[in-house]
A and B are shown apart, each in its own frame.
Chain A
Amino acid sequence: MFIHNFKYSLKTLFKDKILIFWTFMFPIILGTLFSLAFSNIEDSEKLKVIDIAVVDNGNVVFKNVFDSLSDEDSDDRLFNVRYVSEEEAIKLLESEKITGYVLAQVKPKVVVSNNGINETVLKYVVDEIIEYQSIVSNFLASSMHEIRLEDIQMSEFVLDIYSEVSKKMNEEVNIHDISSENLSYTMIEFYTLIAMTCLYGGIFAVVSINNTLANMSFKGARVSVSPTSKKIVILSRLLASYVIQLLGLVILFLFTIFVLDVDYGNDLSLVVLTSLVGSLAGLSLGVFVSSIFKSSENTKTSILIAFTMAGCFLSGMMGITMKYVVDSKAPILNKINPAAMITDAFYSLYYFTTRDRFWFNIISLVIFSVILIVVSIFSLRRQRYDSI
């Protein structure tokens, strides 16, 4: 009887096109849109070669500095520089061809059109030239009392200091970058997408349970008078829901991994575990909603969708910073939010090397599911009707 029921539940669920659209197609469409819109966002936040102009008035120091920073073969290339007259520079700035221009004079001046990162970088580099001059004059001042002026050729002496300073200034400094390689924050979008799919899967449970409740549908009334034990009916239908839910997830995973290039970290078995537990949370949410609320199937589905979307919103689907804000300002909210637990589990697999946080999330999900299922069992058992 279990197998028979299971088979027919699978069939009816699969035939519901709207249901399949929301649980199978919608996440894939949304994922594709995410990937199209976000694929470039992290690259475009990197510092790019900045177009500038220099009005050089024959100043050698400026030309040297900007030429070395505009070297096309260098990895540290910062600028694309052109040397022009002041009128031309003004025109270039007006037509937004350059970020700004430098007037190379004794007191150098930078002209830009707006505030911004590129403008700040330009200012920093010109600052450096001024600092350079200050260093040389500091050295000069401190050396003056050691040497008798008449002993040396002044200009040669200055040049010596200049070359000494510039040699030291070009030496490498000891900075070790120890940041993790997995810093791509747009991954969170895809993790919330998986979380959404897990919880959306609860719709299958809503439909399955509703079809067994005598007071909810004619089908439910008919099932209730049949001589099959209610336990078997419900369990077989829930198992069918769970299987379809997992199938949808497998398709989504394959799509995100192979087409959208989403990175889930290196531990495949733990990714599978998260999906199994996440879907279980979705399933129990569906059972809970359909057994506690006494309303039409449409309303129940709407409640489930609204809950899922609110959960995904808090875990960063509509803006990744949201998750960080909630996590740091109102952590309790995301500790009871299944979408955030799933998202955070994937995030800790991707970003952290330790697994404490991951297991915390998995255990929270299990607790969440158990509580909902226990409450639902108490609501579902011993329902009897003399007439309906």
Chain B
Amino acid sequence: MIVFKSFLRVLNKNKAPVILFTVMLVIFGVINFTSNDSTDVFTSSRPDVLIVNKDVNEGITKTFIDYISKRAEIIKLSDNESIDDALFYRNVNYVIYIPLGFRDDIINGNKPSLEVKSTGDYQASLAQMMVNKFLRVVNVYSGDFNDEWQLINYVNSTFSNETNVEITSKLDVDSLSRMATYFNFMNYTMLAGLVFVISIVMTSFKNVNISKRTTMGSMSYRRVNMYLLLSNLVFALVFWLVCMILSFVLLGDILFSLHGVMYIVNSFIFTIVSLTIALLIGNLISNKNAVNGIVNLIALGSSFLCGAFVPVEFMPKSVVNLSRVFPSYYYINSNELIKSMEVVNFESLLPVFKNIIFMLAFVVLFVILINVVSWKKRRFA
């Protein structure tokens, strides 16, 4: 008990960073909260488009603006600098400048021209397809029909037919990916939290004066170490539980589904991996000032490389391959697998089990290393 008490005392002194890691997890969970509910009806993606109209807002020009507004989110900004800013930060994907005389050109059978600014991503490509399509259809009609009213009628009737689209998947993609994002970010929180606390505590016990006093005390070295290990284990479990409670608060009922249970199991296994990593590092270092640097190196490094912050599908192949040497890769890989699982059964879970075995192998490896390191340190100290 006395060991556990001093563990708590050290923890209490250094609580600020631990709280910070947890708050970051919550912020991350909340930010991803904004996406809307998914339905089983197909909804087209709508790029963010900004229209700067220098022409009159009537006739065929108005038809064009209505056509875009129906298929895209219209963003309204006035001055040039904020338009450029919005484009750079991808708040707008596509800017359309309608020049003066756009309407007249079409009515007179001339090819109208447009200036655009584009981010070049897929949303912008979609907007480009829309604009292209409209101009093409108008070009086809405008040569033969000079009457604007008739032209507008024809253009509208052409665009009124839409394809029938059927969706097969019944997966609740939005909440599943929200869960995956939360649990992926937990990779950082777990590693940073556990490595920080455990290293700080272990280095505090290693302080020359304190370790001398401990050796002199009536409690045997073995017992002190065992209690220390137990306290670390308890802390890891409590920290995991806090993260789970937060996930219930943030994500809600969906955690009670089979998918949710798999996420929870997976994160529990990873907690054990993080615990052994933390113990290994706590054994290796003896300088308290170095703890912060090492925490950042390990937690940030493996989180970035294994896709805890940026989804793996957006990362270069070589980095993803390299990241296989970290246990985090297997944890995050499982999260991604569970996300896209249509049915949860033994067969579909096989790759997840494989990842769990890999993680447990890391646990064994780290435990062996911890023993080797602490044996050597004691022997050669």
Name A residues whose Cβ lies closer than 8 Å to a Cβ of B. 18, 21-22, 26, 29-30, 33-34, 36-42, 44-47, 93-94, 96, 107-117, 119-121, 123-124, 126-128, 130-131, 134-135, 138-139, 142, 165, 168-169, 171, 173-180, 183, 185, 319-321, 323-324, 327-328, 347, 351-352, 357
Closest chain B CB from A66 CB (angstroms): 14
A30-B300, A115-B38, A131-B161 in contact; A40/B316 too (CB < 8 A)? yes
Q: Which residues of chain A come closer than 8 Å to B167, judged between CB atoms?
A: 112-115
Taking A110-B163, A112-B42, A180-B117 as known contacts, 8 extra A-B pairs with beta carbons closer than 8 A to each other, sorted by chain A number, are A26-B296, A29-B301, A36-B305, A37-B319, A109-B163, A114-B167, A115-B38, A169-B140
Q: In chain B, residues 81-132, which have Cβ atoms closer than 8 Å to a Cβ of chain A?
A: 81-82, 84-91, 95, 97, 111-123, 125-126, 128-132
Determine if A33 and B161 form an interchain contact, defined as CB atoms under 8 angstroms apart. no
Q: Which residues of chain A come closer than 8 Å to B95, judged between CB atoms?
A: 179
Closest chain B CB from A355 CB (angstroms): 13
A124-B129, A138-B157, A179-B118 in contact; A36/B304 too (CB < 8 A)? yes
Determine if B137 and A135 form an interchain contact, defined as CB atoms under 8 angstroms apart. yes
Q: What are 10 pairs between A and B in contact, CB < 8 Å?
A: A29-B297, A37-B319, A45-B122, A111-B165, A112-B168, A124-B133, A128-B133, A138-B141, A169-B140, A324-B85
Closest chain A CB from B54 CB (angstroms): 14
Inter-chain CA distance A373–B293, complex, in Å, is: 30
Inter-chain CA distance A312–B187, complex, in Å, is: 22
B256 lies within 8 A of chain A by Cβ: no
In the complex, the chain B residue whose C-beta lies closest to that of A25 is B293
Q: Which residues of chain B come closer than 8 Å to A134, judged between CB atoms?
A: 157-158, 161
Determine if B305 and A33 form an interchain contact, defined as CB atoms under 8 angstroms apart. yes
User: Which of B44, B132, B314 has a CB less than 8 Å from the CB of A44?
Assistant: B314
Determine if B111 and A173 form an interchain contact, defined as CB atoms under 8 angstroms apart. yes
Determine if A131 and B314 form an interchain contact, defined as CB atoms under 8 angstroms apart. no
User: Which of B158, B296, B305, B314 has a CB less than 8 Å from the CB of A135?
Assistant: B158
Q: Which residues of chain A come closer than 8 Å to B88, judged between CB atoms?
A: 183, 185, 347, 351
Determine if B316 and A36 form an interchain contact, defined as CB atoms under 8 angstroms apart. yes
Inter-chain CA distance A40–B312, complex, in Å, is: 10
Q: Which residues of chain A come closer than 8 Å to B340, judged between CB atoms?
A: 96
Q: Which residues of chain A come closer than 8 Å to B84, judged between CB atoms?
A: 180, 351-352
Determine if B121 and A33 form an interchain contact, defined as CB atoms under 8 angstroms apart. no
Closest chain B CB from A149 CB (angstroms): 20
User: Which of A34, A44, A109 has a CB less than 8 Å from the CB of B164?
Assistant: A109
Determine if A40 and B314 form an interchain contact, defined as CB atoms under 8 angstroms apart. yes
B144 lies within 8 A of chain A by Cβ: yes
Determine if B113 and A175 form an interchain contact, defined as CB atoms under 8 angstroms apart. yes
User: Which of B116, B171, B319 has a CB less than 8 Å from the CB of A176?
Assistant: B116
Closest chain A CB from B96 CB (angstroms): 9
Q: In chain B, residues 29-52, which have Cβ atoms closer than 8 Å to a Cβ of chain A?
A: 31, 38, 42-45
B166 lies within 8 A of chain A by Cβ: yes
Q: Which residues of chain B come closer than 8 Å to A38, judged between CB atoms?
A: 310
B136 lies within 8 A of chain A by Cβ: yes
Determine if A324 and B122 form an interchain contact, defined as CB atoms under 8 angstroms apart. no
Determine if B135 and A46 form an interchain contact, defined as CB atoms under 8 angstroms apart. no
B209 lies within 8 A of chain A by Cβ: no
Closest chain B CB from A163 CB (angstroms): 12
Determine if B43 and A165 form an interchain contact, defined as CB atoms under 8 angstroms apart. no
Name B residues whose Cβ lies closer than 8 Å to a Cβ of A. 31, 38, 42-45, 81-82, 84-91, 95, 97, 111-123, 125-126, 128-133, 135-137, 139-141, 143-145, 154, 157-159, 161-169, 171, 173, 289-290, 293, 296-297, 300-301, 304-305, 307, 309-310, 313-316, 319, 340
User: Which of B97, B119, B168 has a CB less than 8 Å from the CB of A93?
Assistant: B168
In the complex, the chain A residue whose C-beta lies closest to that of B316 is A40
User: Which of A33, A44, A139, A173 has a CB less than 8 Å from the CB of B304?
Assistant: A33
Determine if A115 and B140 form an interchain contact, defined as CB atoms under 8 angstroms apart. no
Q: Which residues of chain B come closer than 8 Å to A108, judged between CB atoms?
A: 163-164
Closest chain B CB from A333 CB (angstroms): 16
In the complex, the chain A residue whose C-beta lies closest to that of B77 is A328
Q: Which residues of chain A come closer than 8 Å to B125, judged between CB atoms?
A: 46-47, 121
User: Which of A96, A110, A169, A327 has a CB less than 8 Å from the CB of B166?
Assistant: A110
User: Which of B139, B171, B309 has a CB less than 8 Å from the CB of A37?
Assistant: B309
Interface centre among B38, B97, B120 (most CB of A within 10 A): B120
In the complex, the chain B residue whose C-beta lies closest to that of A166 is B140
Inter-chain CA distance A323–B88, complex, in Å, is: 11
Q: Which residues of chain A come closer than 8 Å to B316, judged between CB atoms?
A: 36, 39-40
Inter-chain CA distance A328–B113, complex, in Å, is: 32
* A-B interface, 3 closest residue pairs, ranked by CB to CB distance from nearest: A174-B113, A324-B89, A179-B117
Inter-chain CA distance A135–B155, complex, in Å, is: 9
Q: Which residues of chain A come closer than 8 Å to B117, judged between CB atoms?
A: 177-180
Inter-chain CA distance A320–B88, complex, in Å, is: 10
Q: Which residues of chain A come closer than 8 Å to B111, judged between CB atoms?
A: 171, 173-174
Closest chain A CB from B266 CB (angstroms): 21
In the complex, the chain A residue whose C-beta lies closest to that of B163 is A126
